[in-house]
């Protein structure tokens, strides 16, 4: 697992479709709007070629206004 600050990025298998598509916050699953940042990558490695997927967090979990 990858960590960022005090948050732990969940494994790929635990993400919703919206989270791994970059539409929702990786930590709280709220829809992303302005102020989202890439906070890391998760590895997708079951039955397909290895591929890192970027995940994003919104201001709700980054501590920014």
DSSP secondary structure letter of residue 24: B
| Count of domains for the chain | 1
**Global pTM?**
0.76
d(C-alpha 54, C-alpha 6), whole Å: 18
Tens of pLDDT, residues 34-60: 889 999 888 876 666 667 888 999 988
Alpha-carbon separation of residue 21 from 9, 24, 63 (angstroms): 15, 8, 22
What is the share, in percent, of the chain residues with pLDDT greater than 90? 32
Tens of pLDDT, residues 16-39: 999 988 899 999 999 998 889 999
Structural domain that includes position 55 = 3-62
SS3 label, residue 30: coil
pLDDT score at 1: 52
Q: What is the DSSP string of 18-39?
A: HHHTTSB-TTT-PBP-TT-EEE
pLDDT score at 63: 76
Cα angle for residues 55, 32, 52 (degrees, 5° grid): 15
């Amino acid at each position: 697992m990858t960590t960022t600050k005090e948050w732990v990025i969940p494994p790929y298998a635990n993400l919703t479709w919206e989270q791994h598509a970059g539409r929702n916050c990786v930590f709280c699953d709220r829809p992303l709007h302005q102020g989202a940042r890439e906070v890391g990558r998760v590895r997708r490695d079951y039955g397909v070629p290895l591929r890192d997927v970027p995940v994003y967090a919104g201001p709700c979990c980054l501590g920014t206004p």
